[in-house]
Amino acid sequence: MHADTPDPSPGPAGGSFHSGLGQDVTTTDRTTSDEGSRAGRPRIERYEPTAIEPKWQERWAELRMYDTDLSDDSRPRYYLLTMYPYPSGALHIGHWYIKTPTDAIARYRRMHGDNVFLPIGFDAFGLPAENAAIKGGFNPRDWTMQNMEKMRGQLRSMGATFAWDAELATCEPAYYRWNQWLFLQLLDRGLAYRAISPVDWCPNDGTLAREQVEGVDRRCWRCGAKVEKRELAQWYLRITRYADELLDFSGIDWPEPIRVQQTNWIGRSSGAEITFESAPSPSHAGGAPIKVFTTRPDTLFGATFLVLAPEHPLVADLIAPERQTDVEAYVKAAADKTEIDRLSTDRDKTGVAIGAEAVNPVNGERVPIFIADYVLGTYGTGAIMAVPAHDERDFAFARRFDLPIVQVVMPRDASPHAELTEAFTAHTADEVMVNSGQFDGRQASEAWHDIVAWLAEQGKGEQTVTYRLRDWLVSRQRYWGTPIPVIHCPVDGPVPVPVADLPVLLPETVDYHGSGDNPLTRDEAFLNVDCPRCGGPAKRETDTLDTFIDSSWYWFRYLSPKLDDAPVDVDLVRRWTPVTQYTGGAEHAVMHLLYSRFFTKAMRDLGLVHESEPFRKLFNQGQILGADGERMSKSRGNVQDPDELVARYGADAVRLYLMFMGPWDQGGPWNTKGISGPVKFLGRVWALTIDPHGREAGDQTDGALPAGEDESDARDRLRAAAHRTLRDVTEDYEGFRWNTMVAKLMELSNLLVRYRGTSVAGLPEWNEAIRLLLLMLAPAAPHITEELWSRVLAANGAEWESIHVQRWPSVDETAIVEQTREVPIQVNGKLRDKVTVPVGISEIELEQIVLARDKVIAAIGDVPVARIIHAGGGRLVNIVLRR
């Protein structure tokens, strides 16, 4: 800063005459540590986080500081939501990584006067509880409740400001009855329905989740038996009805990668549905419509065969008797594979002809029909027209089965006779039609529309849109979830449970029989009921709901977790939602974060909520990996236990270290060593505050101010640094840039350390800097700042008031204004010199000074100066020489 004024002007000497200052906050311990007094240096009380953290956590809880008054309209509302944890047993460091910075946001917003609501709860249904229960022979409820109790304690140890009075657990009837209620409403609106679909089924253990099927030969994870596919009646939610609306992200501020993922997942494809007809054959009358979906109707003349999905319903009608055996064998083989296997890209194409033909509507040509598992029954119409010349998969299939390949689209200037060695899939504005009858010579992109129009005229096709997104399968053949409120009557079929009979309670006792299949199917008391419609004997539905239902509306319920006559408090929902800021992992991109958007829209259409989007702003934090760079898991033995760290370094240090590691959205490998940085920093903040006049053994400055500074310079510099830090740190808080926020506070504390024990320690500028430092640090490290704040107040004889109810300080711009500025000087873009000049200097004056510098003259030599660039507001000067 004073690089060009090296001569030292000694400031007031010594640093030992300040005990009389009113603002002296030195602790009384200074005099009690007699055995530690060595070399005339009083030992100050050390920073002991474990001694202060529980104390303040209790105090905050006693004062109910963070229960939110939801009816308070006098302040801006800030609904801060963080993904609720699954009660898996214990918190891991990843929970801290997302939750403690979220708490810093809450505290920061409160210091701006916002009414912050930061609820917490538990995603308490799910498979891990059931697996643990089967293994240990106990009730999933007991396991879940115990885990929740442990995790509550751990969550409290973060010092986070959760609104515990709003806590909810989804496994409580008070919550899941409303899952059931919502399900019935969706059923009533046609947004829930039942359909048959294949599930993985083990002969010993019943239905398996996808992750319970192991290895390429698909065996049960528990008993090793070969897993089959079974057709089961399943409940679905009609999320596809909202596909187009879900593609619209206007009005929400979400990370681009999530929006892209959701968009791809929904997978809107514009194309045409084209109707082929079956050709007559000895065993089949012909004339049956076969609908195919294509995004390339312009290639219709190139369709040389048709492929149906193996499970396509028309297969049975069309099949030639002599093909029966082969086709059945193929269909069975396909059914034994999961969709994952079927979709594996590098697999060779397989399929069989079914001995039937179809008629191409555009030219009357007869083409053979195949079934092949590369066509999916669940997408489009489950049937395609195969155009091997213009589709890679069809090309591979045609090569394999020696089928004709007819090119119908080609580049304008290409030779029409060249043989294709791979599918030609380019679809720009520059291709023309060939081998396409009346469309020959037309530009392909125009022919696309012309052919669709022609088909529509003939009643043989229409333009359509297809989505990759499927309806949401919500049936789970599991005990530990929300019972689906339906009764199956032999007379009336599936009948909804009357709303008055809700909740359908999960039975208290559970008998697993040492097996993984759903014990509800064996629970006679649960199972046997009267039909609500005809009163006759009927059976309850034994499937439970996917736990993602629970998390699809939980933030509404936080506002009134105990409300017992409606799922949500319409008035509070109107005032408090959408959620202002949501924080959580990106791994939920196309599940929870998509389902929540769907549910919000569906609940809007049910008249329950007014808005269409759940979360106005979303932030996805990164993932903390093990020290080995791998995902943390018990089996790898690389899990970091936060309790251990808290016991050793304190919650504040852990919070600060997690924030300091790097950008929040980045995550990264855990490295315990690095925590010593934040630990030392907190120790310095402690020492600076309680003992401003102390000096450490080995300090060679001898209490003198830095060379070239007098006391007035030092006071200005302290004040400028404190306010500049405040300005920058405020911006970092706003942008969730915790790592640089902490770094800047470290810089300020380093500066204060330099002045500790000098004549400016304890002066008003010093005290202001300490005060700002504590306030800026308070949201991130709430305990130590609360403790030091209370000591400062006590030392000044002031009444205690929590640091966390203080207002965020405002920047004094006049403190930051400087008299001089250091200007880097470049010659041809290379740094050659620096010069300190008065702030208001003109460009002409600056040039004169710059050009007179020895180093500049040397760098220029005898080459003429072409021009001189003054970069943005005089931040830099660049002298450009003639080439």
Partner RNA sequence: GCCGAAGUGGCGGAAUGGCAGACGCGGCGGUCUCAAACACCGCUGAGGGCAACCUCGUCCGGGUUCGAAUCCCGGCUUCGGUACCA
What residues numbered 385-414 form the site for RNA, per CB under 7 A? Answer: 391, 393, 396
Place of tokens 């890679």: 392
The span from the CA of 856 to the CA of 45, in Å, is: 54
* Residue 882 binds RNA, judged by CB under 7 A: no
Q: Which is nearer to RNA, 557 or 737 (CB)?
A: 737
Instruction: Give residues with Cβ within 8 angstroms of 715, minimum separation 6.
Output: 760, 763, 765
Dist CA 588 CA 637 (whole Å): 25
Enumerate residues 201-230 that contact RNA by CB under 7 A. none
851 near RNA, rule: CB under 7 A: no
Q: Which of 29, 107, 46, 97 is nearest to 682 (CA)?
A: 46
Closest CA to 373 of 312, 316, 305, 317: 312
User: Which of 211, 256, 322, 565 is in the footprint of RNA by CB under 7 A?
Assistant: 256
By C-beta, is 520 or 659 nearer to RNA? 659
Nearer to RNA, 155 or 474 (CB): 474
x/- contact string, 715-754, with RNA (CB under 7 A)? ----------------------x-xx-xx--xx--x--xx
CB of 701 to RNA, least distance (A): 6
Q: Measured on CA atoms in the order 784, 786, 790, 793, is the torsion positive or negative?
A: positive
Considering the rule CB under 7 A, would residue 435 count as an interface residue with RNA?
no
Q: Which stretch binds RNA (CB under 7 A): 218-226, 549-557, 780-788, 875-883?
A: 875-883
What's the rounded Cα separation, in Å, for the pair 184 and 389? 50
User: How far, in Å, CA of 367 to CA of 423, rounded?
Assistant: 19
The 3-state secondary structure of 214-228 reads ECCCCEECCCCCECE
* CB 309, min distance to RNA, A: 6
Binding string to RNA for residues 461 to 490, with x set by CB under 7 A, is what?
A: -----x-x----------------------
How far apart CA 716 and CA 202 sit, in angstroms, is 77
- Cβ atoms 710, 631 nearer than 8 A: no
Does residue 339 belong to the site contacting RNA (CB under 7 A)? yes
119-153 b/e with 16+ CB inside 10 Å = b? bbbbbbbbbbbbbbbbeeeebbbebbbebbeebbe
CA-nearest of 546, 542, 573, 541 to 557 is: 573
Phi, psi of 353 (to 5 degrees): -75, 145
> Does the footprint of RNA cover residue 828 (CB under 7 A)?
yes
Q: How far apart are CA 624 and CA 630, in angstroms?
A: 9
204 vs 514: CA distance, rounded Å: 11
Look at phi and psi of residue 356 and say left if phi exceeds 0, alpha if psi is from -120 to 50, else beta: beta
Q: Smallest gap, in angstroms, from Cβ of residue 703 to RNA?
A: 11
Nearest distance from C-beta of residue 74 to RNA, angstroms: 36
Please choose, from the candidates 337, 602, 331, the residue with its C-alpha nearest in 3D space to the C-alpha of residue 474. 602
Residues 3-62 binding RNA (CB under 7 A) are 38-39
What is the C-alpha to C-alpha distance for residues 317 and 313, in angstroms, rounded to an integer? 8
Question: Does 702 help bind RNA (rule: CB under 7 A)?
Answer: no
Tell me, by CB under 7 A, how many residues bind RNA: 93
Strand pairing category for 876-881 and 820-827: parallel
The residue among 355 and 380 lying less far from RNA, judged by its C-beta, is: 380
The CB-of-748 to RNA minimum distance in angstroms stands at 10
Residues 6+ apart with CB under 8 A from 151: 85, 87, 89, 90, 91, 122
| Part of the chain binding RNA (CB under 7 A), chosen from 188-196, 446-454, 635-643, 678-686 | 678-686
656 binds RNA (CB under 7 A): no
If one asks whether residue 174 binds RNA (CB under 7 A), the answer comes out as no
- Cα–Cα distance for residue pair 687/313, rounded to 1 Å: 79
Q: Which is nearer to RNA, 630 or 813 (CB)?
A: 630
For 748, the 3-state DSSP assignment is: helix
Cα–Cα distance for residue pair 744/326, rounded to 1 Å? 73
Sheet holding 820-827, edge to edge: 830-838, 820-827, 876-881, 865-871
Q: Which is nearer to RNA, 154 or 547 (CB)?
A: 547
Select from 225-233, 361-369, 432-440, 866-874 the region that touches RNA (CB under 7 A): 866-874
Least separation, in Å, of the C-beta of 774 and RNA? 18
State the amino acid at position 228 in one-letter form: E
Asked if 345 interacts with RNA (CB under 7 A), we say yes
8 A C-beta contact, residue 650 and residue 123: no
* Cα 793–chain centre separation: 41
Min dist CB 294 to RNA, Å, is 4
Q: Minimal distance in Å, beta carbon 119 to RNA?
A: 28
Rounded to whole angstroms, the Cα distance separating 436 from 413 reads 17
Q: Which range in 143-151, 289-297, 778-786, 791-799 contacts RNA by CB under 7 A?
A: 289-297
Complex with RNA: residue 701 or 802, whichever CB lies closer: 701
Cβ at position 670, least distance to RNA in Å:
10
Fill in the DSSP letter of residue 349.
Answer: P
Nearer to RNA, 55 or 855 (CB): 855
Residue among 699, 702, 801, 818 that touches RNA (CB under 7 A)? 699
> 516 to 545, contacts with RNA by CB under 7 A?
none
Quote the distance between the C-alpha of residue 254 and its chain's center: 10
Among 680, 712, 857, 863, binds RNA (CB under 7 A): 680
Rounded to the nearest whole angstrom, what is the least distance from the CB of residue 120 to RNA in the complex? Answer: 26
Question: What is the nearest approach in angstroms of RNA to the Cβ of residue 387?
Answer: 7
Listed ranges 47-55, 85-93, 292-300, 843-851: which one lies at the site for RNA (CB under 7 A):
292-300
Map residues 554-593 to x or -, x wherever contact with RNA holds by CB under 7 A.
--------------------------------xx-xx---
Among 16, 671, 712, 796, binds RNA (CB under 7 A): 671
- The residue from 55, 210, 347, 807 that contacts RNA (CB under 7 A) is 347
776 belongs to the binding site for RNA (CB under 7 A): no
- 555: buried, middle or exposed (CB in 10 Å: 19+, 13-18, 0-12)? buried
Nearer to RNA, 179 or 826 (CB): 826
Of the residues 660, 733, 766, 808, which one makes contact with RNA according to CB under 7 A: 660
Closer residue to RNA in complex, CB, 765/833: 833
Q: Which of residues 118-157 bind RNA (CB under 7 A)?
A: none
Rounded Cα distance between 103 and 780, Å, is: 8
User: Closer to RNA at the Cβ: 189 or 855?
Assistant: 855
- List the one residue from 5, 204, 264, 528 that touches RNA (CB under 7 A): 264
Q: At 26, list the tokens.
A: 């030195």
Q: Tell me which residues in 605-634 interact with RNA (CB under 7 A).
A: 631
Nearer to RNA, 19 or 666 (CB): 666
Site for RNA in 752-771 (CB under 7 A): 753-754
Phi, psi of 728 (to 5 degrees): -70, -40
Does residue 253 bind RNA (CB under 7 A)? no
Instruction: Say which residues have a Cβ less than 8 Å from residue 7's Cβ, sequence separation at least 6.
Output: 708
Q: How far apart are CB 706 and RNA at their closest, in Å?
A: 9
CA dist., res. 285 & res. 306, Å (int): 18
302-318 burial code (b ≥16 CB/10 A, e <16): bbbbbbbbbbbebbeeb
Rule CB under 7 A: which of 352-391 touch RNA? 373-376, 379-382, 384, 391
Residue 173 sits in the site that holds RNA (CB under 7 A): no
Three-state DSSP state, 102: helix
Cβ nearer to RNA, comparing 486 with 705:
705
Only one residue has tokens 């891991």, namely: 92
Q: By C-beta, is 38 or 513 nearer to RNA?
A: 38
Determine if 666 is a binding residue for RNA (CB under 7 A): yes
